[in-house]
Amino acid sequence: MSMQNDNGATKRFLDALYKNVKMGADSIIDLMPKVEDENMRAEMTAELEHYEGFAKEIRTLLFEDGLEPKDEGLMAKMGVKMGVMMNTMMDNTSSHIADMMIQGATMGITDTTKLVRENENSSCSEAALALARKIIKYEEESIERLKEFL
């Protein structure tokens, strides 16, 4: 798959997708130390592995054209870290953490769906669009699994 003739549409698309999955992974990493329930930890570990796998797929698509993903800025990462800390200070129950993760996955689905809709008729590569749809499907399934912890 070459993205040379698409005026950067695929690169911008994959950068946005990368930021989305890295935010999911970073949030799980930040939340993990607060979780005591082993079943919840197992779910979070599985999700982290999926997000990292998606990030790797995105990097592979970019590397094929000699490009690298653009990482989230330090301020955005710190904002997520602070949000997690504040949100779990008073309540670190599995139910509350599942609720936070459901909200995060819902935001991910919304952002990725918008991204797909905005780019499906552009010169964005079909491989990139297919990966985004796979991520949306995974996040929808994740929400269903997380509901068990509410």
Average pLDDT over residues 4-11: 69
Beta-carbon count within 10 A of 116 CB: 19
The whole-angstrom separation of Cα 140 and Cα 113 is 12
Share of the chain above pLDDT 70, in %: 93
Average pLDDT over residues 117-141: 95
Share of the chain above pLDDT 90, in %: 67
At residue 6, the pLDDT reads 53
The candidate with the shortest Cα–Cα distance to 134, out of 33, 34, 21, is 21
- CATH superfamily of domain region 9-149: Ferritin, core subunit, four-helix bundle (1.20.1260.10)
Average pLDDT over residues 116-133: 94
- Residue 1 — pLDDT band, cuts 50, 70, 90? very low
Residue 119 corresponds to which tokens in the numbers above? 């780019």
The candidate with the shortest Cα–Cα distance to 126, out of 2, 22, 28, is 2
Average pLDDT over residues 74-88: 74
Burial class (CB in 10 A: 0-12, 13-18, 19+), 87: middle
- Residue 67 — pLDDT band, cuts 50, 70, 90? confident
pTM above 0.85, yes or no: yes
3-state secondary structure 9-25: HHHHHHHHHHHHHHHHH
The whole-angstrom separation of Cα 69 and Cα 99 is 29
Domain boundaries, the chain: 9-149
